[in-house]
Amino acid sequence: MKSKKTIATLSSLIHHLNMTKLEFLKAADLQTHTEATRFFNQQARLRNRFCQELMAVLRSFDVSTENLLFNRTDLNQRIITTVDDKATIFAQKGMALDQELLVLYDQLVEEAPELELLAAHQKEITAALNTAKLLLSKTAKAQKQLLF
């Protein structure tokens, strides 16, 4: 299980989780509905927890995480958001990254089926994707009603 391929996939997965977390934080900052803000903040925290759990797995393989670029959140990335972008764009980017995450999780499950937390992560991300789709369609309908 400590193969280079598994370690590389874990590293890639952690990086994607970090990027997804940032997109969801940006989406949460720009939401006008408190339900959506709460949901995207929760998703960002969830991705952060997944990062920490997977970094612990890497450390258990005696892989140093100190030199990894994704070890700490770059606050500059967090702060730099263009005002012109809409909240749904960030949410859609986060959802697209979640789709990529699911592919990476599938690869890791094949490489390391004994890591049970991978299936739990997959399940939570899949549920979050479904909820995000419903939430975005709900907020889009509410915005259309306000316009007309």
- In this predicted structure, what is the pLDDT of residue 70? 44
Q: What is the DSSP string of 79-91?
A: H---TTS-HHHHH
Q: Which tens digits make up the pLDDT trace of 82-127?
A: 443 466 788 889 999 999 999 999 999 998 888 899 999 999 999 9
Do residues 31 and 37 touch, judged by C-beta distance below 8 A? yes
Q: State the pLDDT confidence band at 78, using cuts at 50, 70 and 90.
A: very low
How many residues are there in the chain? 148
pLDDT surpasses 90 at 4: no
Complete domains list, the chain, with CATH: 4-147 (1.20.1260.10)
Mean pLDDT for all residues in the chain: 82
Q: Give dist(CA 103, CA 94) in Å, integer.
A: 14
Q: Give dist(CA 122, CA 78) in Å, integer.
A: 25
94 class by beta-carbon count within 10 Å (0-12 exposed, 13-18 middle, 19+ buried) = buried
Mean pLDDT throughout 67-82? 48
